[in-house]
């Protein structure tokens, strides 16, 4: 042990065609609290990727526990067809190839190759130097993408490889949201495009830091600093007595030390009677199925929430970050 504290989250970067793992360096500044790692994969086909990507993603999950994915173009496709969503909490997909079969058919049409011809010959090299493979097409067709992890997609309006309708159809079926850069291309590489990409990731990461921190309550308060939670975590009866007395005085209610047991508003586990069944904010958030009140369109006009955010600027800041 060298005494260095390992960062709690990994961010895995998967490059596109012609790229490399060193591109991950660019993203380290955007995820300063995470270990950003470039995946130097060797796979050239979806069949190869299924095994290689799954083994790698599992090793990351086993080592870090929490991991995000940034995947580019065909690297995103390999990630999705390999089914590695089970190893990640969040995915950021940049110009993802979401329908490989459609791309292959486009190449076949351009090369004037029929499906029967490809099936008969197995492999046909196009004038552009790309190989059309019946085995590749068959594998793609027989292994549709199954992708459930919450995902954000960055798409360029001038993408000549993937149509917006194709990406939109994928997003509607796979728990994904799309951000479109007007004038963006399939390959984000100009200064303007990279600034847009960086701002996109930076803003989403701010929101995710709030959402992923389960100690942040629906209302934006930080349960990690709550003495009721601290008393519960440390099984501190003296602190329970102190908190019960203070809360009884503040709320003009009879609160006993036995009631001071809580693991946190959004955490699994025990709750105080107020948090469990009385708090109107928590009831509303659970009913609306939002991760915090920052996601609710009525946040700024909610009277219940204003009783908290009107007296706690930090809680308001957290919710505003979570809602962007």
CA atoms within 13 A on the CB side of 186: 16
The pLDDT tens digits for 230-266 are 999 889 999 999 999 999 998 888 999 999 999 999 8
What does the DSSP 8-state code read for residue 111?
T
How confident is residue 71, by pLDDT bands cut at 50, 70 and 90?
A: very high
Long-range contacts of 175-181 (CB under 8 A, 24+ apart): 175/147, 175/148, 175/149, 175/150, 175/151, 176/93, 176/147, 176/150, 176/151, 176/152, 177/151, 177/152, 177/153, 178/153, 179/152, 179/153, 179/154, 179/155, 180/155, 180/156, 181/154, 181/155, 181/156, 181/157
Hey, where are the domains in the chain? 9-98+147-212, 100-144, 223-323
Q: Write down the pLDDT at residue 209.
A: 60
What does the DSSP 8-state code read for residue 222?
B
Q: Write down the pLDDT at residue 4.
A: 43
Closest CA to 226 of 267, 256, 287: 267
What is the percent of the chain where pLDDT is above 90?
Answer: 76
What span, in angstroms and rounded, lies between the C-alpha atoms of 243 and 240? 5
Which CATH architecture group holds 9-98+147-212? 3-Layer(aba) Sandwich (3.40)
- Looking at every residue in the chain, the average pLDDT score rounds to 91
The burial of 172, by beta-carbon neighbours within 10 Å (0-12 exposed, 13-18 middle, 19 or more buried), is given as: exposed
The pLDDT tens digits for 169-197 are 999 998 799 999 999 999 999 999 999 99
């Amino acid at each position: 042990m060298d005494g260095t504290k390992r960062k709690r989250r990994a961010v895995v970067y998967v490059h596109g065609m012609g790229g490399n793992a060193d591109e991950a360096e660019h993203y380290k500044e955007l995820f300063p609290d995470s270990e950003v790692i470039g995946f130097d994969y060797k796979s050239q086909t979806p069949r190869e990727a299924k095994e290689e990507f799954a083994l790698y993603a599992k090793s990351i999950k086993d080592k870090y526990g929490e991991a995000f994915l940034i995947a580019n173009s065909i690297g995103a496709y390999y990630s999705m067809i390999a089914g590695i969503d089970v190893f990640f909490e969040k995915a950021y997909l940049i110009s993802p190839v979401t329908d490989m079969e459609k791309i292959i058919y486009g190449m076949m049409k351009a090369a004037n190759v029929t499906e029967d011809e490809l099936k008969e010959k197995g492999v046909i090299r196009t004038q552009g130097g790309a190989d059309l493979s019946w085995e590749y097409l068959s594998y793609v067709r027989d292994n549709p993408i199954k992708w459930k992890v919450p995902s954000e997609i960055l798409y360029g309006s001038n993408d000549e490889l993937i149509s917006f309708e194709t990406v939109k159809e994928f997003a509607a079926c796979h728990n994904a949201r799309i951000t479109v850069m007007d004038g963006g291309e399939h390959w984000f590489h100009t200064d303007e495009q990279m600034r847009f990409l960086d701002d996109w990731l930076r803003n989403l990461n701010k929101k995710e830091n709030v959402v992923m921190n389960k100690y942040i309550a629906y209302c934006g308060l930080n349960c990690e600093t709550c003495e009721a939670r601290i008393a519960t975590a440390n099984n501190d009866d003296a602190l329970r007595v102190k908190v019960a007395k203070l809360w009884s005085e503040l709320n003009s209610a009879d609160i006993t030390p036995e009631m001071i047991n809580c693991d946190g508003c959004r955490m699994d586990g025990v709750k105080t009677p107020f948090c469990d069944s009385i708090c109107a904010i928590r009831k509303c958030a659970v009913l609306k199925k939002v991760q915090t009140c920052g996601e609710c369109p009525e946040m700024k006009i909610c009277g219940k929430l204003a009783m908290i955010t009107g007296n706690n600027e930090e809680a308001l800041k957290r919710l505003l970050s979570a809602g962007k």
